[in-house]
Amino acid sequence: MSESIKIIAPSYKRAGNVKAVDVFHDKLILAVHEFEKEEYQKAYPNNELMVMPDDIGGNMAKVRNYIRDNCDSRYLVMIDDDVEEIGYHEDMERHPIGLVAIMEFLENGFQIAEDVGTILWGINLQADPKFYREYSPFSFLSPVLGPFSCHIVDDVNDIRYDNRLGLNEDYDYALQVLHKYHKIFRNNKYYYLAGHLTEQGGCGAYRILDEEKRQSEIMLNKWGSKVVSYNFKKTTNPRVKVPLKGI
């Protein structure tokens, strides 16, 4: 299975500064817009490029749908281009792992996802070991987000990212999966470390608070205030509470 796993990172204005290449090496496929194609080819000659049309720029939902539609494998890993470490928590410390171990881990993760009957799986959203709860190494009702999301893509999977939600698209996608499949497999022992909005380029280049608030209204109208809520004084990310029993 490992040879059929495609690892794709959407990248924008980061040619020469894609940290994920140092983690995944030539296994990483960079999804870039047409206007940046030559710049990325020059910076990363050993990496395959997925060239996207320029007119979907600025909307991560459209970008993610394009990647899913054009991935030629059933097993797709979408990661942020600023992911700089994959590892696991143990003894209150982070333990980074190399590419061989990462590929074995991905293969096992896809097998478990298929066994439990879901199309989405991922890992802990927190790299700080103090957030890892050893008594719940796995969970099935917690969201898996864009920086590291593993998808089983097939013809019967009709779930797509909502094009209206270019900023909250990963939360919405996770809720769609939970609504249909009632589970997302998340291995909480493992984590990713990424720069997110602190780095130049990427989503941070087009995030603005007014747009965050506009999209929050879409989320609230779609899922209701009992499922999603916002506190913009603390964070622009929604708080998700799934009305299902389980962990």
Helices (H) and strands (E) in the chain, counts: 6, 12
Residue 112 has pLDDT above 60, yes or no: yes
DSSP letters for 119-178: SEEEEES--SGGG--TT-SEESSS---TTEEEEE--TT------TT-SSSHHHHHHHHHH
pLDDT tens digits, residue range 63-72? 999 999 999 9
DSSP 3-state of 10: strand
User: Using one digit for the tens of pLDDT, what is the confidence trace for 49-96?
Assistant: 999 999 998 899 999 999 999 999 999 999 999 999 999 999 999 999
Token code pair at residue 229: 């809520």
pLDDT in the model for residue 198? 43
What is the per-residue pLDDT for 36?
Answer: 97
Instruction: Give yes or no for residue 184 having a pLDDT over 50.
Output: yes
Residue 113 has pLDDT above 80, yes or no: yes
**β pairing state of 120-124 and 148-152:** antiparallel
Reduced to 3 states, what is the DSSP secondary structure of residue 96?
strand
What's the pLDDT at 157? 75
Among 193, 100, 104, CA closest to 148: 193
Tokens representing 228 are 């999603």
pLDDT at 16: 96
Average pLDDT over residues 29-52: 98
pTM of the model: 0.93
State how far the Cα of 94 lies from the Cα of 96, in Å rounded to an integer. Answer: 6
Torsions phi, psi of 102, nearest 5? -60, -45
Give the pLDDT confidence score for residue 58 in this predicted structure: 85
CA dist., res. 161 & res. 171, Å (int): 10
Distance, CA of 214 to chain centre:
22
Q: What is the DSSP letter of 238?
A: P
In percent, the amount of the chain with pLDDT more than 90 equals 83
Neighbouring C-beta atoms of residue 143, cutoff 10 Å: 23
Residue 78 backbone phi and psi in degrees, to 5: -105, 125
Check if the beta carbon of residue 32 is closer than 8 Å to that of residue 52: yes
User: Domains plus CATH for the chain?
Assistant: 2-240 (3.90.550.10)
For residue 224, pLDDT beyond 80: yes
Per-residue pLDDT of 151-168, as tens digits, reads 999 877 789 999 999 889
d(CA 222, CA 162): 11
Q: What is the pLDDT of residues 169-179, one digit of tens each?
A: 999 999 999 99
Strand partners of residue 94: 89
pLDDT at 204 over 60: no
Tell me, what DSSP letter sits at residue 13?
S
Q: In this structure, what token pair is assigned to residue 74?
A: 């059933």
